[in-house]
Structure 1
Amino acid sequence: MFIRSARLFLRPGWPEDRDDLHRAIADRAVIDNLSRVPWPYTPDDAAQFLDLPVEHALPRFLITLPGRDGTQLVGCVGLTRAPGFAGGAPQLGYWITREAWGRGFASEAGRAVVDLARTLGHRRIVARHFIDNPASGRVLRKIGFRPTGRTLELFSAGRGGSHAALEYAVDLAGQGGGDGSTDLIPCRKAA
């Protein structure tokens, strides 16, 4: 699957993306905000991530910014199923390169995936962020998520320990996509 939003092109990752992915995410400031990504992050970690199987109902995308000179990798967004997390509801996860922070890319990409999740038949999505990353909470609220009131201890592979995190959820049945539309254009890979 591919998604074209107003400014971004979301696409699957391929093995040849290994070096670009490694360069984009191998930043301690980015990894400290994530739970499953180790520090230091190696090219082999990038290759393993790109080799993970993807379920149709749980898509994962590289976030790219098209331009005159090609596309620039600015992050990753997708849905996963975390065992024991909020009753098995899909979980939204994302990260943005430090150079692209503050430009609205996380909101735009997240909103596109939430809209796609609704199309795929998901009724609820959950998300979480470490308490010391309030910017992620602002992104989640902007795309329609609301705090559940739960605070939990979440292990961070990059930080090497557990840290407090806030849980959010969005109910998709009969709702719009947060504070605006993505003008989403989902496309499938030709068979």
Structure 2
Amino acid sequence: MEFGQILPTSPVLGKSTLVGLAITFFAGVCFSLFSPAFNLATNDQWHTLKKGVPHLTVYTAFFYFSASCFVVAIILNLTFLYHPVLNLPKSSLKAYLRDWDGRGWAFLAGLLCGFGNGLQFMGGQAAGYAAADAVQALPLVSTFWGVVLFGEYRKSSRRTYALLCSMLLMFIVAVGVLMASSGHRK
């Protein structure tokens, strides 16, 4: 079977909840370390550098970030084409390049993500990286689009809807606390 063909039943569903949770947890750890690492790269490195060595600007750090994302994405995509996880069918680079169904949307998503990241880094330099990350609100935005546009959580339990509402409420409280603390910073 070639890459991009739709299977009659999804072979991924129910394969391994533990593997899915482990991957999700690892992604969460990576994302939670991203903002502090970027803050160290651009703002808090002054005490580690030798005298006369300039620290990274946001634009230089964004270049290194984008270049490393590009390299890691190529490595991971090639690896998963030839060695897919969860017993999915193997593919090839040739099949990948021939299949352009939906690639336009993926390309647009990548452009929007890159543009948004650039603006977030500039906002982080101006207002602080915690504020820039909070305003981005990726989990809330993706949940909103999932519920409204893609119909996720349809026919879910009351408990699920309570958790979704509590997530939104906690985010609103966190942004309020962040806004209230901004008057106390120098």
Structure that is richer in strand per residue: 1
Does TM, normalized by the shorter one, top 0.5? no
Q: TM-score scaled by structure 1?
A: 0.25
Q: TM-score scaled by structure 2?
A: 0.26
Structure that is richer in helix per residue: 2
Question: Which has more radius of gyration?
Answer: 2
